[in-house]
Amino acid sequence: MWTDPECPVARAVDVVGDRWSLLIIRDAMAGARSFTDFQQRTGIARNILADRLRKLAAHDLITQVEAPSGKRRVYALTEAGKDLFAVIVTLRQWGERHAFEAGEPRSVLVDEQGEVVPELVPVAIGGAPLTSDTTSVRGPG
């Protein structure tokens, strides 16, 4: 059951709004594939991890595929899971600005050339930055 059936944000939060789901998605984007990978990277309890993996699979964000060795199955992001990349980057960048003290060590997201990923900013068709002050929500219909 959706908490707010007409709101895309509420529906998204219903699917991936808990801490563990987002960290699983983050780690899948960073190369985690096995149950053990996710458990070791997050420190999540095995029963909670199993539950979140089932939920993410039920919502088609992650799926099990045959490992290259063919000896077991591993997890992989689906296209819907990969579509969360901008969400993870934006959340990371918010954390860099607001969740660390000045000079506090932290990881950094870089591109293939080793350059720090620039800040993601939504822009209007004409290129002007969009903010909560310059946008509004229109109801369905």
Domain boundaries, the chain: 8-82
Window from 6-15, 16-25, 37-46, 81-90 with minimum mean pLDDT? 6-15
* Tens of pLDDT, residues 16-72: 999 999 999 999 999 999 999 999 999 999 999 999 999 999 999 999 999 888 889
What Cα–Cα distance (Å) separates residue 7 from each residue in 2, 3, 140?
9, 9, 9
Instruction: Report the predicted TM-score, pTM, of the whole model to 2 decimal places.
Output: 0.89
Q: Is 90 helix (H, G, I), strand (E, B) or coil?
A: helix
Q: Half-sphere exposure (CA, 13 Å, Cβ side) for 39? A: 10
78 CB neighbour count, 10 Å cutoff? 14
CATH 1.10.10.10 fits 8-82, yes or no: yes
- Euclidean distance between CA atoms 120 and 129, whole angstroms: 10
